Amino acid sequence: MALPFFIYILLCSDKSYYVGHTDDLERRLAEHETGATGGYTAARRPIQLVWFEEFPTREEAKVAEAQLKNWSRRKKEALIEGKIDELKQAARKDWSSYRQRRGR
């Protein structure tokens, strides 16, 4: 049986979010916590795991990771908090503020 893959969201010490994927969540979290892999989270420790989901294949996890990385902070927070209605609302574009900025 194949190992599952995970996508996860970390809350960093500067209150930013980091989205990643792995086949070993515990090992990957330990790497982030120690700064062993360098990169984005190394300078933003301590980190906290705030959300994760399991996927049957790496390909599915990578697609989901790419999608989450493009989400707004508002959408990520709705997902983390399990607020599906807010997640749907956050997915809608508010064109009124855009029109005001453009003078329309």
CATH code at position 31: 3.40.1440
pLDDT reported for residue 104: 61
Enter the tokens of residue 94: 């508010």
Residue whose C-alpha is closest to residue 50's, from 80, 21, 30 = 80
pTM listed for this prediction? 0.85
pLDDT reported for residue 25: 97
Q: Count Cβ neighbours within 10 Å for each residue of 70-92 and write b for 16 or more, e otherwise.
A: ebeeebbbbbeeeeeeebeebee
pLDDT reported for residue 87: 81
Residues of the domain holding 68: 5-101
> How many domains in the chain?
1
Contact yes or no for 49/31 (Cβ under 8 A): no
CA distances from 26 to 6, 10, 45, 78, 89 (A): 11, 13, 16, 24, 33
Mean pLDDT per 10-residue interval, the chain, length 104 residues: 92 97 96 92 96 96 96 93 84 70 69
Enter the tokens of residue 61: 């996890």
pLDDT reported for residue 91: 75
pLDDT reported for residue 98: 64
